[in-house]
């Protein structure tokens, strides 16, 4: 079908910044949808029916889909495919039925104003997304652009930076970029943030400070825990066996502090995880750890496997750190695991280890014994020796692709 849905980016300069083709598509549309601000900017060109986005925006999608085959124009800020409505519309209209005409994105405008190379910038949005995700990209010298949710975002971002020891960072609060009311303010993260900021803003950050999370193998002290944690060395071996890959989903069963699910999620921005924990206090602690370590999208389910697994999206990998001996847990995880996925189980008790040996005889895989010794003092003397931690048996098995 010939494209009938036009997705048109419009800047703060309104119709003056639109191409002739974009103008013609708006003028010829039987329906023009967009935010109230967008509709006002394009008002001189609109001839058809207007649809202002409701809240939530998705409530308007059936009305757009119902116009299939007739000219519809959707207005968006700047580039509709940069944290914009473009992705949402792709869920209801095929790409070949859509024509997108972007305007310069706020990211492009911000980089142009500051002289920054866009490919060197970490960009993210606080619109409907947790601000804590910015923690994952903080390091001295980093350049970060955050698309604000509203006028309060700059102050919230400044507070987060100060909490993480990055109070020396410089914030460029950039308001109404590209329009007649454009304003750029240069502020210190540790300064008082003005309360008259335009709700339409983004914040470009020059990060300064010693805070920086390692890319892998976080220290045990990075997690709040009550002792129920997969220790760093064993965690590194566990992640190696699980083999994270972009877009893959992990189930972390009996997650405790959430350390494995969090490390998995930090491996790549597209990695996803569901942490399952029967104790509410530990589940709450795991979620707090996820926010503190820059992966606030982690989903934590309070419940005991296997019952708590019902209805969850099917995993590409499963880690069982607790509850492996509960009836149906291993078999339930194996049944749910996608073909080609990895199942990894750690155990320190001989009872669970006996179960893993028996299960390996049915499903295959490898058994590894992980023994860690750490330097410690000997008695009251000034002498030292290596003190062994409890050895961990790890069973790892890949589900056959033809299963």
Mean pLDDT over 210-237 rounds to 94
Task: Kindly state the DSSP code that residue 105 receives in the 8-state scheme.
Answer: P
Q: To the nearest whole percent, how much of the chain has pLDDT over 70? A: 100
- CA proximity to 171, closest of 206, 201, 138: 206
Domains along the chain with CATH numbers: 5-103 (3.40.1010.10), 107-206 (3.30.950.10), 220-398 (3.40.50.150)
pLDDT of residue 403: 79
Cα–Cα–Cα angle for 396, 309, 270, rounded to 5 degrees = 65
pLDDT of residue 269: 93
pLDDT in tens, 283-329: 999 999 999 999 999 999 999 999 999 999 999 999 999 999 999 99
Chain center to CA of 107:
19
Would you say 275 and 297 are in contact if contact means Cβ atoms under 8 Å apart? no
pLDDT of residue 216: 87
pLDDT of residue 168: 97
- Produce one character per residue of 12-27: b if its CB has 16 or more CB atoms within 10 Å, e if not: bebeebbeeebeebbb
pLDDT at 277 over 90: yes
pLDDT at 268 over 90: yes
What span, in angstroms and rounded, lies between the C-alpha atoms of 271 and 44? 45
Mean pLDDT over 99-115 rounds to 97
What span, in angstroms and rounded, lies between the C-alpha atoms of 120 and 391? 44
Beta bridge partners of 375: 386
Residue 275's alpha-carbon distances to 96, 250, 264, 387, in angstroms, are 38, 8, 11, 31
pLDDT in tens, 334-347: 999 999 999 999 99
pLDDT of residue 330: 97
- What is the sign of the dihedral through the CA atoms of 235, 241, 242 and 243? positive
- CA proximity to 334, closest of 368, 357, 363, 307: 363
pLDDT of residue 108: 96
Mean pLDDT over 369-389 rounds to 91
pLDDT band at 249 (very low <50, low <70, confident <90, very high): very high
Mean pLDDT over 103-124 rounds to 96
What span, in angstroms and rounded, lies between the C-alpha atoms of 367 and 364? 9
pLDDT in tens, 42-71: 999 999 999 999 999 999 999 999 999 999
- CA proximity to 171, closest of 149, 143, 132: 143
What span, in angstroms and rounded, lies between the C-alpha atoms of 38 and 76? 7
pLDDT of residue 379: 84
pLDDT of residue 50: 97
Would you say 323 and 304 are in contact if contact means Cβ atoms under 8 Å apart? yes
Mean pLDDT score across all residues of the chain: 96
Predicted TM-score (pTM) of this structure: 0.90
pLDDT of residue 1: 75
Joined tokens for residue 386 = 């290596």
pLDDT at 381 over 80: no
- CA proximity to 286, closest of 338, 228, 202: 228
Alpha helices in 231-279 (DSSP H): 232-242, 259-267
Mean pLDDT over 216-240 rounds to 95
Residue with tokens 């494995």: 260
Q: Decide the pairing of beta strands 170-175 and 201-206.
A: antiparallel
């Amino acid at each position: 079908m010939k494209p009938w849905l036009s997705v048109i980016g419009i800047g703060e300069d309104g119709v003056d910044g639109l191409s002739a083709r974009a103008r013609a598509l708006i003028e010829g549309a039987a329906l023009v949808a967009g935010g109230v601000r967008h509709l006002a900017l394009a008002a001189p060109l609109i001839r058809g029916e207007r649809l202002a986005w409701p809240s939530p925006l998705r409530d308007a999608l059936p009305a757009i889909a119902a116009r299939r085959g007739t000219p519809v124009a959707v207005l968006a800020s700047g580039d509709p495919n940069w944290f914009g409505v473009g992705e949402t519309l792709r869920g209801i209209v095929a790409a070949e039925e859509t024509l997108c005409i972007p305007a310069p994105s706020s990211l492009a405008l911000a980089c142009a104003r500051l002289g920054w190379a866009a490919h060197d910038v970490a960009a993210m949005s606080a619109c409907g997304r947790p601000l804590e995700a910015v923690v994952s990209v903080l390091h001295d010298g980093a350049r970060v652009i955050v698309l604000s949710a509203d006028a309060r975002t700059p102050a919230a971002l400044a507070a987060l930076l100060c909490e993480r020891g990055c109070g020396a960072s410089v914030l460029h609060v950039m308001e109404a970029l590209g329009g007649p009311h454009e304003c750029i303010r240069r502020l210190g993260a540790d300064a008082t943030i003005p309360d008259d900021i335009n709700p339409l803003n983004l914040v470009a950050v020059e990060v300064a400070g010693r805070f920086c999370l390692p890319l892998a193998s976080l220290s045990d002290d990075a997690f709040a825990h009550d002792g129920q944690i997969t220790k760093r060395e064993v965690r590194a071996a566990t992640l190696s066996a699980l083999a994270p890959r972009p877009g893959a989903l992990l189930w972390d069963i009996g997650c405790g502090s959430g350390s494995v699910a969090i490390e998995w999620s930090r491996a790549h921005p597209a990695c996803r995880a569901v942490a399952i924990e029967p104790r509410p206090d530990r589940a709450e602690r795991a979620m707090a750890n996820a926010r503190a370590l820059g992966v606030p999208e982690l989903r934590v389910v309070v419940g005991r496997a296997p019952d708590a697994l019902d209805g969850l999206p099917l995993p590409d990998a499963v880690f069982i750190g607790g509850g492996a001996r509960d009836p149906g847990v291993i078999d339930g995880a194996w049944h749910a695991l996608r073909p080609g996925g990895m199942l990894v189980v750690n155990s320190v008790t001989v009872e669970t280890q006996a179960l893993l040996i028996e299960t390996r005889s049915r499903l295959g895989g490898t058994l590894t014994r992980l023994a860690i010794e750490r330097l410690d003092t000997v008695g009251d003397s000034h002498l030292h020796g290596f003190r062994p931690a409890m050895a961990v048996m790890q069973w790892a098995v890949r589900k056959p692709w033809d299963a």
